[in-house]
C-alpha cells in the first residue's frame, strides 16, 4: 500500500486490512513450536555436478519430533528410510537389503533435523533467505565441519514447509517439494519401527 493511499484511508476514516508479512524464520519457529508430528507427500529431484539427467522420485513421509521419521519412496522405485529416534534403517526391497546405524549426535546437524529435530541453533546458522512467488525462505548452514552438505534452503508458506533444497559437498543438489501436509496427525508408534523382512541381508549396527 502506498503512502498516499494510507493517508487517504486515514483521512476518510477507513480501516483497511494490510497483508501480514511473515518471513521465513518466524514460520520455521512456528512450525517447530506448533507441529509435533506431520505427514504428507514429497517429490525429489537430484541434480549432479556432471550434468547428467536429473533423477526424479516421489513418495510419502511422516515425522514426529524429536528424531522420528518415515520416508517411503514409492516411484519409480521402492525404498524406505525409518528412524525411531535412536536408530536409522534403510531398506532396499529390490536387493532385499537393510542397512542400520545408530542415529547418534550427527542427526542434529543433518537436513532431516530441520524438520524432525530440535535445538537447531546448536547445529545451524540460520538466516532469512528472501521470498519468491509467495514462499519465504530460510538459509541453514551447519556450524560443524563433519557434515556431508554445505547448506539447505527451506521454503515456507502459511507456516508449513513446502520445499527443501540440499546442496552437498560434492556439488550435488537435491530438490524436495512437499504437498498435502497434515499437521499434528495421530501417528501410530509402529510407523517409526522397522523389522527386517525374512531372508533380508542386514548390514550395520
Contact 165, 175 (CB under 8 A): yes
Per-residue cell: 7: 493517508
Q: Among candidates 130, 126, 124, which has minimal Cα distance to 139?
A: 126
Return the CATH number at 113.
2.50.20.10
pLDDT (tens digit, 0 to 9) for every residue of the chain, 205 residues total?
433 333 333 333 333 333 344 699 999 999 989 999 999 999 999 999 887 889 999 999 999 988 899 999 999 999 999 999 899 999 999 999 999 988 876 676 677 888 887 778 888 899 999 999 999 999 999 887 767 789 999 999 999 999 999 998 888 999 999 999 999 999 999 999 999 999 999 998 7
Q: Among candidates 193, 200, 198, which has minimal Cα distance to 82?
A: 193
Other Cβ atoms closer than 10 A to 26: 15
The pLDDT of residue 108 is 67
pTM of the model: 0.82
Q: Is residue 10 part of a domain?
A: no
* φ/ψ bin of 130: left (φ > 0), alpha (ψ from -120 to 50), beta (otherwise): left
Q: Which domain holds residue 62?
A: 21-204
- Total domain count, the chain: 1
The pLDDT of residue 9 is 34
Q: Is residue 146 part of a domain?
A: yes
Beta-ladder partners of 135: 132
Amino acid at each position: 500500500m502506498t503512502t498516499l493511499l494510507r493517508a487517504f484511508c486515514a483521512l476518510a476514516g477507513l480501516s483497511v486490512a494490510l497483508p501480514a508479512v511473515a518471513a521465513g524464520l518466524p514460520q520455521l519457529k512456528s512450525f517447530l513450536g506448533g507441529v509435533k508430528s506431520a505427514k504428507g507427500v514429497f517429490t525429489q529431484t537430484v541434480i549432479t555436478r556432471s550434468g547428467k539427467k536429473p533423477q526424479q522420485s516421489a513418495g510419502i513421509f511422516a515425522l514426529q519430533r524429536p528424531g522420528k521419521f518415515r520416508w517411503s519412496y514409492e516411484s519409480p522405485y521402492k525404498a524406505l528410510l525409518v528412524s525411531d529416534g535412536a536408530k536409522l534403517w534403510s531398506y532396499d526391497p529390490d536387493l532385499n537389503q537393510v542397512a542400520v546405524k545408530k542415529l547418534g549426535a550427527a542427526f542434529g546437524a543433518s537436513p532431516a533435523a530441520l524438520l524432525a529435530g530440535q535445538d537447531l541453533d546448536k547445529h545451524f546458522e540460520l538466516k532469512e533467505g528472501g521470498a519468491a512467488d509467495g514462499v519465504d525462505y530460510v538459509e541453514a548452514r551447519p556450524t560443524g565441519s563433519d557434515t556431508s552438505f554445505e547448506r539447505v534452503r527451506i521454503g515456507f508458506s502459511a507456516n508449513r514447509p513446502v520445499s527443501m533444497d540440499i546442496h552437498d559437498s560434492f556439488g550435488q543438489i537435491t530438490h524436495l517439494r512437499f504437498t498435502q501436509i497434515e499437521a499434528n496427525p495421530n501417528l501410530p508408534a509402529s510407523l517409526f519401527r522397522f523389522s527386517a523382512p525374512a531372508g533380508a541381508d542386514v548390514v550395520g549396527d
